[in-house]
A and B are shown apart, each in its own frame.
Chain A
Amino acid sequence: MQAAWRDVMPKPRQVTVNGVTREVMVAPGTSLLEVLHDILGLTGTKEACGRGECGACTVLIDGQPVMSCISLIEDVRGPVTTIEGIADDHTDLREAFADCGAFQCGFCTPGQIVRAAALLREPWPENAADVETFIHTAMSGNICRCTGYTGIVDAVMRTGASRGKLGGRVS
């Protein structure tokens, strides 16, 4: 049975974004992306597909990367971190993106950076020779149509190296 739009009542929801708890009035089943982008004005998180298939809307929930476009606000069970909450703490990563040609149009870039920031906290392969393939695979949830990926992989590797991750250490 399908509900009609007139049956839909906005309800207050609390969500903690970048360390600040906010209350928003939204219809049931509103996506986290819509809350972030259109209601809270955090426009760094982008919608490119709305189907959970491209990674442009990647945010962290409880530190884990997820697709905000298919996350319903009711089912968000932890603090949310967006590109706005990450950018200042990852200047090295962003500089590496700029230096390595890891973005062109920049539309997928916030999602790439958020995903990469999480990856930089995950364990990396012990064997340095496996790192490039590891990053190629780990970044595969974030589609980029411009760069051909080589620059993105280089940027993440360079940042990992400077953060001491190439020895397989978990930071």
Chain B
Amino acid sequence: MNHVGARHRPIDWAARSAGRVSYSGDVKLEGLLEGAILRSPHPHAKIRSIDTTKALRMPGVHAVVTSADLPRGARYFHEGEKDRAPLADGIVRFVGEEVAAVAAETRAQAYAVLRLIDVDYELLTPALDVRAALKPGTNALHARATGEANVSRRVLRQWGDAAKGRNIGTVSVSGTYHFPRQAHVCMEAMVSVAQWDEAEKRLHFWTTTQAPYYVVREVTQVLGLAAGQVVCHEVGVGGGFGAKSKICDVEVIAGLLARAARRPVRVKLSREEEFETTKTRHAFETAMRLHADTSGRLRAIDASVTVENGAYNHSGASVMSAGLKGLGMMYRPEGVELSGQLIDTSMQPGGSFRGYGTTQTSFALECLMDELAEKLGLDPFELRIRNANQPGETTLVGARLGSARLVECLNAARKAIDWDAEKAQRRPGRGVGVAAGVHVSGSFTEPGANRSDAAIDIFPDSRVRVRFGGADAGTGQKTIMAQIAAQELGVAYEAVDVLTIDSERTPFDMGSWSSRGTHFAGHAVRKCALETASRLKALAALKLGEGALRLEDGTVKSDSGSIALGELARLSNESMDGVLSVETSYVDPVMELPDKETGRSNISASYNFATHAAVVEVDRRTGQIRIIDYVAAHDIGTSINPTLIEGQTIGGVVMGLGVALGEAMIHEQGKMVNGAYLSYAMPRSADMPRIRPIMIEGGDPNGPYGAKAIGECSINPPAAVIANAVYDAIGVRIHDLPITPDKILRALAEKEGRTRRHRIWARPSRWWIALVRQSYPLGLLKLLHGRSAPPATCTDPAPLKEVATPDSLPAALVALNGTAVLMGGGTDVQLRRRQRLIEPETLVALRGVAGLKEIGTTADGWVEIGTATSLAALATAMRSRVPMIAEAIDTIASPQIRQMATLGGNLIQEKRCWFYRGGFNCFKRRGGLAPCYAIAGDHRFHHNAIDGHRCQAVTPSDLATVLLALEAQAVIVSPAGERTVPMADFYTGPGETVVKPDEILRTIRIPPSALSRKGAFTKLRLWEGDFAIVSAAITVQLDAAGRWQAPRIVLGALASTPWRAFDTERRLAGQAVTAASLRRALDAELDAKGHPLARNAWKLDAAAGIAEAATEVILARREAVGG
């Protein structure tokens, strides 16, 4: 059986797919306490004092720790620069920095007790971005070796002869490219369980990690323990992507709490904490110039990168350096001249992230390669082929290439995407793009990083166990190690177990980072397995004679007989209790540490190349990009398990497409504002096409079985592929990721010379608002913000006394009592409780109320819908009667949420403004003179462009938009009786309604006239299931000639409440409307009535575009029956 190269299932597939793998958060320990971390609400402040006495007195509290409980001066030692304390030591440098921690009986208690710790801060002026950090006179966050305030590191790299290259390269292109912070968003948030063994004086960990080596090393030194006192145990690891490739920010705190409490403690970050406080991908600004000769040979690359470090160093200098090295690996210019500066800001620190700097610089390089191709009149593939590195070459950075199949990748991608046909067809709005990438297979960055050990046990029952010190965060090393052991020992794949992470029983390995897993685990296990095999053969030879021996079927065989491996193990005088254990050490023979002066070296043992290509369609009306096809060709050496290689490829592509299309961490006043799956636009299943991986095989001389790495290279090309394809489709080049619809529409408007004139000067009712908005960036925001409490991340709801579950409407009204909060499906109520927007004692659940889930038709033809009807049930009931209701519901959230959420809850849900929801003490949270953070903050997507006043939020309900277009009514009941309110009067503000605290929204009524109208609902959003950026619901009565009678045109998410385009309705009434005629009328009205914020004028274009799309749906439905 050939195990290497086989598509074996993941080693623990049965347990993993059945939920039986124990992750850190699943570990059951007697007396387990829950930890919670008090975090700085300020971006930069001195801590005058911390008072924990009140917290310590609370029942259920077992420990409260601060930096005073750490050894004096304890610091993490990332990159040797000890600039960060595990708990803030006298100063905080970013919002969310750890200040104190609590261990209590329950999670709710632990979080509640945090509020009782008093910290006295002296505020310092923060530098919240690179520009502020570099402004003369700005406070330095740290004393740095550069001697320059807030410049953590400068680096200058000159490889080859760039000056000569510039002389020959008479054609040049240049540009500045921005790559944002990206969040890892591991599905398992950071979690660490620690237990202090007082008898043995040892600290045990069950912790989510890619590198137990660093956890043990750092916890030991930070807590002042001795070697051997810190132990890691094996757990499942729920994703890494670099987030866990060094120690994280929870292990030391968990250990400290466990030691203080003398009980095991679990510190598990909430999703909000995970987003807002853990290390991120570094944002890069890359200014680059390429010089080429007229034959299409790249001659020189000049680049300067500015990297935002955040508050602490972590991997910043090495990420910056790796990003520059990538520019010296891919192509063959005469020389490169690269400079970098790493800038400290009072922000979430950056850290290692899949791609490690090369992702950021590749985006610039590969966009510019396309610009160069255009300037030279060359095909983009051809240009790359002419400049590709060849096998055996030493690149500018010193990489000695064994195998290098970039040209093969380029050819394969070109063919697979059908490049020539796509180029020949030139369909409007459709484009095709390409980009290449390169990455290492491990890097020799510090002593030990070129070595990996492995051990193998042969048990008496002939089972085999591999012991390896690294960790498998989902990237498949455990599986390939089992395959390799099975291969070399001649046993069944199923006969091999693999133990990782366990720091007591596994030998030395530095962990899974820098795409080193396959190279090091592969070589180390292969070497150990070969050594084990030779010992087994030697033992067998004693019995079977010296003839040809082979390992097969769990035995050593000769022509004369066979002996089971377990039997042989028992025979060995090295075995213990019949177990033969062999441990070997693999030291890579070709990797070199970088030269300190030049940064050059053969840093890795092998180098992997890739080419990706995609076809996209760009909707010029909405700015939305749809990926039609995506291929990813990778130079992988040989594949040890093709399924795993394809998985790493596709996963990396989609993570790369995330930042190409939507992902960016957005901050305001130093605090992340989109730190939730809901508002961080990462890809969902429906957003992604089928990704087609292409494996270019051919062994590398230095890889195990010829294999090279795959884990990171796949994330490098996607951003440039999409940027290049978008340019091909619509002729605008976006330099700033992610390429969201706002950037497309703004660029198109600019290119086509379109501007909207809103004539605010002629609209006195808008003067005051316009003045306030203009004053915000000029100091008003700073003033109002300074008077407010700092934003707080809330993830713990206030306790409830009761959840009432009445079975009748009268009982529900009694339970409501004017103070309780009603709950339909609870999907928004639970979130609002968590966000501390509501703190009720009692919730009243409506799903059990008789009659509230019924849908019926009255004698005079009205459709009446009970408001506790789930969205899923409503969609089913309306799909043929009022299709636009079902179509709108299909765009809402997820199937699970549609199952739970109710019609009433959807209509009454609160505004979804990121700031309001995210703990900012804004006007709507605090009233009075509190500011609206959306005015100067990021309001591109979910704020109003018409009619804004103090609050810029919009009504988020899509059904509100639809029901207004259907002229529906709401029936509201109270102890005093019932009243009927037209949808037009239902909303009083963004997500605010006429329903009073003692009332229940009972029924939605749709008039018979609406049922005979044609209607359509269309929506622009960032990801499948997201709230509308803007939506359109249009209903019309079509007469026999196809003319629109009494049209109702409603735009959602554009104004504070669903907004009817009355002028447009009037102008189109009685007309045979086309998309173009609607657009003309609507554009005029949006010009006259719009009052966009500084960065959301594009929403007016998008609104007109989405309304055009709705019009087309109606026109297409003209002949159809119903709807």
B109 lies within 8 A of A5 (CB): yes
Indicate whether A87 sits within 8 Å of B800 (C-beta atoms), given known contacts A107-B238, A136-B688, A153-B685.
Answer: no
B801 lies within 8 A of A7 (CB): yes
B858: interface (CB < 8 Å): no
- Which residue of chain B has the shortest Cβ distance to A151 in the bound complex? B647
A50 lies within 8 A of B690 (CB): no
Indicate whether A29 sits within 8 Å of B843 (C-beta atoms), given known contacts A7-B799, A71-B900.
Answer: yes
Q: Among the listed B22, B651, B803, B900, which residue makes an inter-chain contact with A146, where contact means beta carbons less than 8 Å apart?
A: B651
User: A53–B189 Cα gap in the complex (Å)?
Assistant: 14
Q: Among the listed B9, B25, B830, B1024, which residue makes an inter-chain contact with A72, where contact means beta carbons less than 8 Å apart?
A: B830
A143 lies within 8 A of B682 (CB): yes
Q: Among the listed A46, A133, A143, which residue makes an inter-chain contact with B188, where contact means beta carbons less than 8 Å apart?
A: A46
B18 lies within 8 A of A84 (CB): yes
B690 lies within 8 A of A150 (CB): yes
A48 lies within 8 A of B690 (CB): no
B726: interface (CB < 8 Å): no
**Least Cβ–Cβ distance between A160 and chain B, in angstroms:** 15
B845 lies within 8 A of A74 (CB): yes
Interface of A is mostly: loop
B19 lies within 8 A of A109 (CB): yes
B17 lies within 8 A of A52 (CB): no
User: A146–B651 Cα gap in the complex (Å)?
Assistant: 5
B121: interface (CB < 8 Å): no
Q: A153 — which chain B residues lie within 8 A by C-beta?
A: 685, 690
Q: Among the listed A67, A75, A97, A108, which residue makes an inter-chain contact with B823, where contact means beta carbons less than 8 Å apart?
A: A75
Q: B21 — which chain A residues lie within 8 A by C-beta?
A: 106
B787: interface (CB < 8 Å): no
Q: A107 — which chain B residues lie within 8 A by C-beta?
A: 23, 186-188, 236, 238-239, 474
User: A64–B872 Cα gap in the complex (Å)?
Assistant: 10
A151 lies within 8 A of B187 (CB): no
User: A83–B9 Cα gap in the complex (Å)?
Assistant: 20
Contacting A at CB under 8 A, from B169-189, are 184-189
B18 lies within 8 A of A72 (CB): no
Indicate whether A66 sits within 8 Å of B678 (C-beta atoms), given known contacts A136-B685, A149-B685.
Answer: no
Indicate whether A75 sits within 8 Å of B831 (C-beta atoms), given known contacts A107-B236, A109-B17.
Answer: no
- Which residue of chain B has the shortest Cβ distance to A86 in the bound complex? B18
Q: B188 — which chain A residues lie within 8 A by C-beta?
A: 46, 48, 105, 107
**Least Cβ–Cβ distance between B61 and chain A, in angstroms:** 12
Q: A3 — which chain B residues lie within 8 A by C-beta?
A: 798-801, 841
Indicate whether A139 sits within 8 Å of B685 (C-beta atoms), given known contacts A3-B798, A7-B801, A29-B803.
Answer: yes
User: A125–B186 Cα gap in the complex (Å)?
Assistant: 33
B476: interface (CB < 8 Å): yes
**Least Cβ–Cβ distance between A129 and chain B, in angstroms:** 13
B685 lies within 8 A of A140 (CB): yes
Interface residue count for A (Cβ, 8 Å)? 81
Q: Among the listed B17, B23, B805, B834, which residue makes an inter-chain contact with A51, where contact means beta carbons less than 8 Å apart?
A: B834
Q: B995 — which chain A residues lie within 8 A by C-beta?
A: none
User: A45–B476 Cα gap in the complex (Å)?
Assistant: 22
A110 lies within 8 A of B13 (CB): no
Indicate whether A145 sits within 8 Å of B655 (C-beta atoms), given known contacts A1-B819, A83-B19, A99-B9.
Answer: yes
Q: Mark A20-52, 1 if CB is under 8 A from B, else 0.
A: 000000011101000001000101111111111
B798 lies within 8 A of A53 (CB): no
Q: Among the listed A43, A53, A100, which residue makes an inter-chain contact with B678, where contact means beta carbons less than 8 Å apart?
A: A53
User: A153–B237 Cα gap in the complex (Å)?
Assistant: 23
User: A82–B18 Cα gap in the complex (Å)?
Assistant: 10
A152 lies within 8 A of B685 (CB): yes
B685 lies within 8 A of A105 (CB): no
Q: A43 — which chain B residues lie within 8 A by C-beta?
A: 19, 22, 26, 28
A150 lies within 8 A of B896 (CB): no
A108 lies within 8 A of B187 (CB): yes
A70: interface (CB < 8 Å): yes
Interface of B is mostly: loop
**Least Cβ–Cβ distance between B1058 and chain A, in angstroms:** 24
Q: Among the listed B16, B185, B805, which residue makes an inter-chain contact with A109, where contact means beta carbons less than 8 Å apart?
A: B16
User: A153–B474 Cα gap in the complex (Å)?
Assistant: 19
- Which residue of chain B has the shortest Cβ distance to A99 in the bound complex? B9
B684 lies within 8 A of A65 (CB): no
B830 lies within 8 A of A70 (CB): yes
A79: interface (CB < 8 Å): no
Q: Among the listed B18, B682, B803, B1025, which residue makes an inter-chain contact with A94, where contact means beta carbons less than 8 Å apart?
A: B18
B241: interface (CB < 8 Å): yes
B677: interface (CB < 8 Å): yes
B954: interface (CB < 8 Å): no
B28 lies within 8 A of A49 (CB): no
A54: interface (CB < 8 Å): yes
Q: Among the listed A7, A70, A97, which residue makes an inter-chain contact with B17, where contact means beta carbons less than 8 Å apart?
A: A97
- Which residue of chain B has the shortest Cβ distance to A96 in the bound complex? B17
Indicate whether A52 sits within 8 Å of B650 (C-beta atoms), given known contacts A28-B803, A43-B26, A104-B474.
Answer: no
Q: B686 — which chain A residues lie within 8 A by C-beta?
A: 133, 136-137, 139-140
Q: B840 — which chain A residues lie within 8 A by C-beta?
A: 1-2
- Which residue of chain A has the shortest Cβ distance to B900 in the bound complex? A66
User: A144–B28 Cα gap in the complex (Å)?
Assistant: 26
B16 lies within 8 A of A141 (CB): no
A51 lies within 8 A of B831 (CB): yes
A170: interface (CB < 8 Å): no
Contacting A at CB under 8 A, from B801-858, are 801-803, 805, 819, 823, 826-827, 830-831, 834, 839-841, 843, 845, 847-848
User: A55–B801 Cα gap in the complex (Å)?
Assistant: 28
Contacting B at CB under 8 A, from A89-128, are 94-95, 97-101, 103-110, 113, 115
Q: A105 — which chain B residues lie within 8 A by C-beta?
A: 186-188, 236-240, 473-474
A28 lies within 8 A of B802 (CB): yes
A98 lies within 8 A of B187 (CB): no
B799 lies within 8 A of A4 (CB): yes
User: A41–B28 Cα gap in the complex (Å)?
Assistant: 8
User: A36–B658 Cα gap in the complex (Å)?
Assistant: 33
A80: interface (CB < 8 Å): no
For A95, A141, A144, which residue has the most chain B Cβ atoms within 10 angstroms? A141
A149 lies within 8 A of B654 (CB): yes
Contacting A at CB under 8 A, from B266-283, are 270-271
A147: interface (CB < 8 Å): yes
User: A149–B847 Cα gap in the complex (Å)?
Assistant: 34
Indicate whether A94 sits within 8 Å of B22 (C-beta atoms), given known contacts A55-B894, A75-B803, A137-B686.
Answer: no
A77 lies within 8 A of B847 (CB): yes
A5 lies within 8 A of B16 (CB): no
Q: B827 — which chain A residues lie within 8 A by C-beta?
A: 52, 67, 70
Q: Among the listed B643, B683, B823, B848, which residue makes an inter-chain contact with A77, where contact means beta carbons less than 8 Å apart?
A: B848
Indicate whether A72 sits within 8 Å of B676 (C-beta atoms), given known contacts A106-B21, A136-B688, A144-B187.
Answer: no
A138: interface (CB < 8 Å): yes
Q: A50 — which chain B residues lie within 8 A by C-beta?
A: 270-271, 795, 834
Q: B643 — which chain A residues lie within 8 A by C-beta?
A: 99-101
A5 lies within 8 A of B17 (CB): no
B7: interface (CB < 8 Å): yes
B682 lies within 8 A of A51 (CB): no
Indicate whether A137 sits within 8 Å of B1024 (C-beta atoms), given known contacts A106-B236, A107-B236, A142-B685.
Answer: yes
**Least Cβ–Cβ distance between A87 and chain B, in angstroms:** 4
Not counting A136-B688, A140-B687, a sample of 15 additional A-B residue pairs whose C-beta atoms are within 8 angstroms of each other reads A1-B840, A8-B799, A28-B799, A50-B834, A72-B803, A72-B826, A95-B13, A104-B647, A106-B16, A106-B236, A115-B895, A115-B896, A141-B893, A146-B651, A151-B646
Can you identify 12 A-B contacts, CB atoms within 8 angstroms?
A: A48-B187, A48-B189, A51-B678, A52-B827, A53-B677, A54-B187, A65-B899, A83-B19, A100-B643, A105-B186, A140-B686, A140-B1025
Closest 6 CB pairs of A and B: A44-B19, A141-B894, A105-B474, A107-B238, A148-B654, A104-B474
B residues within 8 Å of A by Cβ? 7, 9-10, 13-14, 16-23, 25-26, 28, 108-109, 112, 184-189, 236-241, 270-271, 473-476, 643-644, 646-647, 650-655, 676-678, 682-688, 690-691, 795, 797-803, 805, 819, 823, 826-827, 830-831, 834, 839-841, 843, 845, 847-848, 872, 893-897, 899-900, 1024-1025
